[in-house]
Amino acid sequence: MSKKLTEGTLYLKNFDQFSKYITLAKATGYVPETFEIEGIQDNIKQNGDVVIRLRFSRHGKTSGFYDEHFSIIIRKSDDLILGFVDLRRENSITPEEVAQLPRENEMPALVKNFFDSWDANYLNELDDYAYRSPYGENILINGVKLAVAGTEWKWVAPKTRDWGWVVFGKNRKPIIFERNIRWVAGRTTEKWLHDTYLETGSLDFIPVEVD
**What value does the mean pLDDT take over residues 64-93?**
96
pLDDT in tens, 106-155: 998 999 999 998 888 888 877 667 767 678 888 998 889 999 999 999 98
User: What is the rounded distance in angstroms from the CA atom of residue 5 to the CA atom of residue 30?
Assistant: 24
Distances (CA, A) of 23 to 26, 28, 30, 54: 5, 9, 12, 11
Whether 205 is in a domain gets the answer no
Whether 208 is in a domain gets the answer no
Overall domain count for the chain = 1
- Burial class of residue 192 in the structure, from the number of CB atoms within 10 Å of its CB (0-12 exposed, 13-18 middle, 19+ buried): buried
* Domain boundaries, position 7: 3-200
pTM of the predicted model over 0.85: yes
- Strand (E) positions, 88-208? 92-93, 127-141, 144-156, 163-168, 174-181
State the sign of the Cα–Cα–Cα–Cα dihedral 111, 112, 115, 120.
positive
Whether 206 is in a domain gets the answer no
pLDDT in tens, 21-37: 999 999 999 999 999 99
Whether 210 is in a domain gets the answer no
**Does the pLDDT at position 66 exceed 70?**
yes
- DSSP code for 102: P
Whether 207 is in a domain gets the answer no
State the sign of the Cα–Cα–Cα–Cα dihedral 100, 167, 25, 193.
positive
* Predicted local distance difference test score (pLDDT) of residue 164: 92
| Contact by Cβ (8 Å): 175, 105 | no
User: What is the rounded distance in angstroms from the CA atom of residue 38 to the CA atom of residue 57?
Assistant: 6
pLDDT in tens, 85-112: 999 999 999 999 999 999 989 998 999 9
